[in-house]
Amino acid sequence: MNKCSLAIDIGASSGKLVAGYVENEKLKLKEVHRFENTIMKKGDHFCWDLESLFKEIKKGIHACREQGLKPESIGIDTWAVDFVLLDENDALLTDAVAYRDSRTDGMMEEVFTHISKERLYLETGIQFQKFNTIYQLHALKKSNPEILEKAKTFLMIPDYLNYLLSGVKANEYTNATTTQLVNAFTKKWDKDLLDQLGINKDMFQEILPPTSSLGNLKAELVKEFGFDMNVLLPATHDTGSAVVSVPEADDTIYISSGTWSLIGVENNFPICVTKALDYNFTNEGGFDYRFRFLKNIMGLWMIQEVKRNYHNTYSFAEFVGLANQEIDFHSKVNVDDDRFLKPENMIEEIQTYCAETAQSIPQNPGQVAKCVFDSLAVSYQTAINQIEEVYEKDFQTINVIGGGAQNEMLNQLIADTTKKEVLAGPVEATAIGNVVSQLITLDEIKGLKEARNIIKNSFELEKYTSKKKVEGLR
């Protein structure tokens, strides 16, 4: 077998370890381990359980050996913006507070008293999400200034897990850009901005791009696992890795569909024009220093919460089936309303919204699910209109990647709503992007272009077109 790499892809709802290698110009994947991920209340805040996540990572590495796999390298990707701080002895000073925690309420507006929204966007090109790292650090500075004074190291979630594996401290570029503290043009920490905000700039580490290597596993882990691996940096922001899997196509809009729906296009330059600011698009750093011009849409988080509210009685596939039985139910919500970011009860929040807007109130799982899927499709259409307005061009194809690509109803709704061709897949786009980045570092793949050709040849995509003919809309 050719050189094999191990991707650790941890999203907001699940994590997976996937081994991958190239054989006969096709990418072969083997899911080695999968586990749930969620936030939990710890004291006054919602946090990630990093100890449990690292235990799952080690369980997955042990499973490699049990399954006869001996990956040459390992690479981690996770969700964006969240971080931990270490003290001078490299001990954790903070919990991994989750971006859905309410500690950043009102912080964005406070930061704007130090730097204008326009200047912040002009320099970073990053969308204004109230949970961006810049606002989390501002919240921490207000609530626990002593912690920021003691902090010697800032590590984002994948950076910290890499540190536990390798003992090396570094910040990876694609994820660092999501902090809204990296200058889009220098691709370095914006030291003037940090000074202006009174944030200790010395705790930030060197920013390394995808395909970098942090060296090998710590000796005690080599002993524990029975084999060593090179700890490599893919695009450690999960969406950054997912977009690597989108075929090289100038007329394609991607929707990275998971907990969030990240809808956008790939560019060679940041677009920080006023219209992009007004529409709240972001320019997150991508592989090969490309840019991911995209916006966050609330995404399948909503159906994840609905599923939880129904005590996990129904699978995601069953929600799709139930929604298909409610084709005459048409109530919709504005999925991008902050009220859906972390409501007590998502079902009740959706029902209240429908009541407030004098729409039929969803009464059963099928109507609730149909409302979520219909509402997401409307939000995607709005974002696509905005992208086409900024680019002054029509895009022909939408490529839905990630777990949401399995939602056939939503894929059809996107085709019917946008009248564009919808390609669905690959489902494991993030893990695939993570693996191919490592294989590029290992010289198994020449570069991004070849990687995308291999991905294109390796995974079947489902195709959807609008059932409703424009001229004959019923």
Ligand X SMILES: C[C@H](O)[C@H](O)[C@@H](O)C(=O)CO
Q: Does 37 bind Mg ion (CB under 5 A)?
A: no
The binder of ligand ATP chosen from 3, 13, 58, 164 (CB under 6 A)? 13
Nearer to Mg ion, 14 or 334 (CB): 14
CA distances, 455 to each of 233, 425, 437, 464 (Å):
19, 11, 12, 20
Q: How is residue 229 written in tokens?
A: 């691996």
Q: Does 81 bind ligand X (CB under 6 A)?
A: yes
Residues 218-247 that bind ligand ATP (CB under 6 A): 238
Q: Identity (one letter) of the amino acid at 446?
A: K
296 among annotated binding-site residues:
yes
Q: Does 234 bind Mg ion (CB under 5 A)?
A: no
Fill in the per-residue mask, 374 to 413: x = in contact with Mg ion (CB under 5 A), - = not in contact.
----------------------------------------
The binder of ligand ATP chosen from 303, 346, 371, 384 (CB under 6 A)? 303
- Tell me how far, at minimum, the Cβ of 333 lies from ligand ATP, in Å: 17
- Tell me how far, at minimum, the Cβ of 17 lies from ligand ATP, in Å: 13
Calpha distance 270→285 (Å, rounded): 9
Residues 258-297 that bind ligand ATP (CB under 6 A): 258-260
- Angle, in degrees to the nearest 10, between helices 408-418 and 365-391: 40
CB within 8 Å of 114: residues ≥ 6 apart: 196, 197
The binder of ligand X chosen from 5, 7, 8, 11 (CB under 6 A)? 11
Q: Does 314 bind ligand X (CB under 6 A)?
A: no
Q: Does 78 bind Mg ion (CB under 5 A)?
A: no
Q: Does 426 bind ligand X (CB under 6 A)?
A: no
| Range list of β-strands (E), 37-82 | 39-42, 45-48, 73-78
Nearest Cα to 434, choosing from 182, 80, 140, 73?
A: 73
Calpha distance 189→202 (Å, rounded): 10
Q: Does 304 bind ligand ATP (CB under 6 A)?
A: yes
Examine residue 270 and say whether the peptide bond preceding it is cis (omega within 30 degrees of 0): no
How many CB atoms are closer than 10 A to CB 181? 25
| Binding region for ligand X (CB under 6 A) out of 192-200, 256-264, 345-353, 457-465 | 256-264
Please give the size of the binding site for ligand ATP, defined by CB under 6 A: 20
Q: Does 135 bind ligand X (CB under 6 A)?
A: no
- Tell me how far, at minimum, the Cβ of 211 lies from ligand X, in Å: 20
Name the residue with the smallest CB distance to ligand X. Answer: 79
DSSP 3-state of 409: helix
* Active-site entry in 238, 250, 328, 338: 238
Nearer to ligand X, 39 or 151 (CB): 39
238 among annotated binding-site residues:
yes
How many CB atoms are closer than 10 A to CB 246? 24
How many CB atoms are closer than 10 A to CB 250? 9
Residue 317 touches which member of Mg ion, ligand X, ligand ATP, none, C-beta under 5-8 Å by kind: ligand ATP
Scanning 216-364, the segments in alpha helix (DSSP H) are: 219-225, 238-244, 274-278, 301-309, 316-324, 346-356
What sign has the CA pseudo-torsion 53, 57, 63, 67? positive
Q: What is the dihedral of CA 138, 140, 142, 145, to 10 degrees?
A: -120
- Angle, in degrees to the nearest 10, between helices 301-309 and 346-356: 110
CB within 8 Å of 88: residues ≥ 6 apart: 150, 152
Q: Does 327 bind ligand ATP (CB under 6 A)?
A: no
Nearer to Mg ion, 11 or 270 (CB): 11
Q: Does 11 bind Mg ion (CB under 5 A)?
A: yes
Calpha distance 339→197 (Å, rounded): 28
Please give the size of the binding site for ligand X, defined by CB under 6 A: 13
Q: Does 366 bind ligand X (CB under 6 A)?
A: no
Q: Does 430 bind Mg ion (CB under 5 A)?
A: yes
- Tell me how far, at minimum, the Cβ of 296 lies from ligand X, in Å: 5
Q: Is 238 a catalytic residue?
A: yes
Nearest Cα to 411, choosing from 378, 381, 377, 383?
A: 377
Residue 320 touches which member of ligand X, ligand ATP, Mg ion, none, C-beta under 5-8 Å by kind: ligand ATP
Contact residues toward ligand X (CB under 6 A) are 11, 79-81, 99, 129, 238-239, 258-260, 262, 296
Contact residues toward ligand ATP (CB under 6 A) are 11-14, 79, 238, 258-260, 300, 303-304, 316-317, 320, 402-404, 406-407
Please list the active-site residues.
Answer: 238
Contact residues toward Mg ion (CB under 5 A) are 11, 238, 258, 430
